[in-house]
Structures are given as structure tokens and as C-alpha cells.
Structure 1
Amino acid sequence: MRPLTDDQIRASFINASKGEAKRAELPDLSAVRWEQLDYLGWQDARRPAQHYVVLEVDGEPVGLQLRGTGQAPLRKMLCAWCEDVIDGVGAASFVAPLAGAAGRRGNTIGTAVCADFRCSRNARRAPTAVEVRTEDPALLAHHREQRIAALRERCARFAAAVQRG
């Protein structure tokens, strides 16, 4: 992911008003390792139920405002974006207001995403023996690149669903 500024992030939100985007508590962008991310996700420090995700779609940043449902999963959930079952943290349910008039009427769309937005790390992890039965570096690299591409595609599909409203 290419580095973004505060202004670029605030201008990228497709399902938040300008006021909501302005009030969003952004993470410390100087600490972000952009080259290792497929999207930037964070929780608003001042409003714990409020979350944000910024991803690249067709080379442009697209920001999404998300709300946590407040319900911890009773068991591990599969993340809809990285499709990884994570040891420890797990996926959580989020809803995103739809863009435009539908969102202003209160319509939302939901998904399950890694609770700590670690999808990029999951896509880049070494495959388990069950996933890939090889030690060939070329095949392992191919597997990793396929997981990254699939993550980006699923994130973009969710953003498109929010955009369509």
C-alpha cells in the first residue's frame, strides 16, 4: 500500500460525512509500515465502537467507517477478508453504513474481519503444512502472492458493496 497523509485519509471516506471524517481519530501514520499493508485498519481511540479501514481500489484510497457490533464471538470466526482462522484474537463482526442516501437512512452491510485488522500479516505468513506441502521457495512465494491478491480483491468487493449503497 502506498503511504497516505491525514488529508488523503479523511478525503477517502465513502460512507462518512465530512464532519465524521474530520472528527476521526487517526493512527500515528509515521509508525505505519505501509509496504507490509494491503489496507490500513484502526479503532478510534476516543470512540471504541468506531473503526476505520482505508484500502486502495484501482490505485485510489477508499475509506470505510465501520462499527463494531459489541458482541464477542462465542467461537472462532473465519475472517471474510483474509479467510484465516487466527489463534488468539479472532475475527469480529463489523457493520458499515452504506454510502449515500441509503446510509443516511441507516442501512448497513456487515462482515466479519480480524478484530485487530491483522489480515495483511495473515496473508503474508508462512503456509502451514496442510495448506502447501512443499518447501520450494518459488511455490511458497506464489502461494503468498495468491493470498495477498485474494485479500485485496475481497476487501475491494466489500468496499464496492458499501459504495453501491
Structure 2
Amino acid sequence: MQPIDGALVRATFVNVSKKERANIPMPDLDLDWSHLEYLGWRDPKRPRVGFVVAEVDGEPVGVALQRTEASSRTRPQCSWCEDVTLPNDVVSFNARRAGDAGRKGDSVSTLVCAAFECPVNVRTQPTARYVGFDVEAAMQRRIAALGEHVEAFVRAVRDGR
């Protein structure tokens, strides 16, 4: 992901009103951007609210998310990083679609790591190894898949379909 500043971060959000956009809390942007497929953070004052900015068609696009009350008897798998050995929680988030669809109440849901740890998770070396297993290639596949999953979700919110 390319580095962006706070003003641009706010301007990228496609599924919020102007008032909501102005009230989005900014995360710490002093990051290693080369190890991020998306920028994700939670609102410290409203823990059920999250924000994600990802590149779609080479441009940053931001979406606001709302944690749902859905719960599962088993530990769900993150839809973005697809890690089954995660030490962190996976929760359900809803994102109102952009435009008319969102104003009519249409939304998109996904299961995501609660604190948006996916970029770290996909870079963690797999524990299951065997002779001939290419750890670096497996990690690169996971990184590419994460980028594709996040982009597809953000595109679905942005395009309102």
C-alpha cells in the first residue's frame, strides 16, 4: 500500500456522510507501508466501529465498518487472511454500501480479525513444514490473497452492488 496522510485518509471514505467523515478518528500513520495490504483501525471511543482503507484500481478507498452482534459457537476463520491458527479474535463487521444502495439500508458483511491484524498474520511463517515446502512462496501467496480479498470487499462497498 502506498503511504497516505491524514487528510487523504478522511477523503477516501465512500460510505459515510460529510459529518461522519469529519469525525473519523485518525490512526497513527507512522507505519511500514510496504507491509500493509490495507490500513485498518478501530474507533477508541466507539469500540464497535472500525475503518479500513485499501487500494482499489490504484486509488485509496475507505470504508467504515460496524461490528455486529453475531456470535458463533466455534471460532470463525477470518475471510481476509484465512488463517486458522490465529491467536486473535475474529468478528463480524457490516459496512453500509456507498450511494443510493447504502441510503436504502443495503450493506455487506464479512468476518475479519478484530483488530485488523491480517497484514501481520499473513507474514507469519507457517508452522507446518515438510521437505520441499517453499515457505517464502507460501507467504507470498497468502499476502497476494489478502490483498485480493480486501480489495473485493472494499469494491463491493464502493460500487454499491
| Shared fold (TM-score, shorter chain, > 0.5) | yes
Unaligned runs of 5+ in 2: none
TM-score, normalising length: structure 1? 0.89
1:86–1:51 distance in 2 versus 1, CA, 3 Å: farther
The 3-state SS of whatever aligns with 2:2 is coil
Question: For residue 50 of structure 1, what is the aligned residue in structure 2?
Answer: 49
Q: Match for 2:26: what amino acid?
A: L
Tell me, which stretches of 5 or more residues in structure 1 are unaligned? Answer: none
**1:73 Cα shift?**
3.9
TM norm structure 2:
0.91
Residue 149 of structure 2 is aligned with which of 149, 154, 163?
154
Aligned partner of 2:99 in structure 1 is: 100
Give the drift of 1:33. Answer: 2.6
In 2, Cα distance between the equivalents of 1:10 and 1:118?
Answer: 21
Structure-2 separation of matches of 1:122 and 1:112: 15
Structure 2 letter corresponding to 1:3: P
The structure, 1 or 2, with the larger RCO (C-alpha pairs under 8 Å, 6+ apart) is 2
Identity, in percent, stands at 43
8 Å Cα contact 2:56/2:151 also seen in 1: yes
Measured after TM superposition, the shift of residue 13 of structure 1 is 0.8
Cα shift at 1:74: 3.3
Matched, 1:6 2:14: no
Equivalences, count: 160
Cα–Cα, structure 1 residues 111 and 101, in superposed 2: closer, same or farther, change >3 Å?
Answer: same
Q: What's the Cα RMSD here?
A: 1.6
Residues 51-73 of structure 1 deviation map (CA, whole Å, 9 limit, x = unaligned): 10011122211101100013454
Larger helix fraction of residues: 1
* Equivalent residue, structure 2, for 1:41: 40
Aligned partners of 2:72, 2:142: CA distance in 1, in Å?
25
- Partner Cα separation in structure 2 for residue 13 and residue 134 of structure 1: 46
Alignment of structure 1 residues 106-121 onto 2, 5 Å: 106-121=105-120
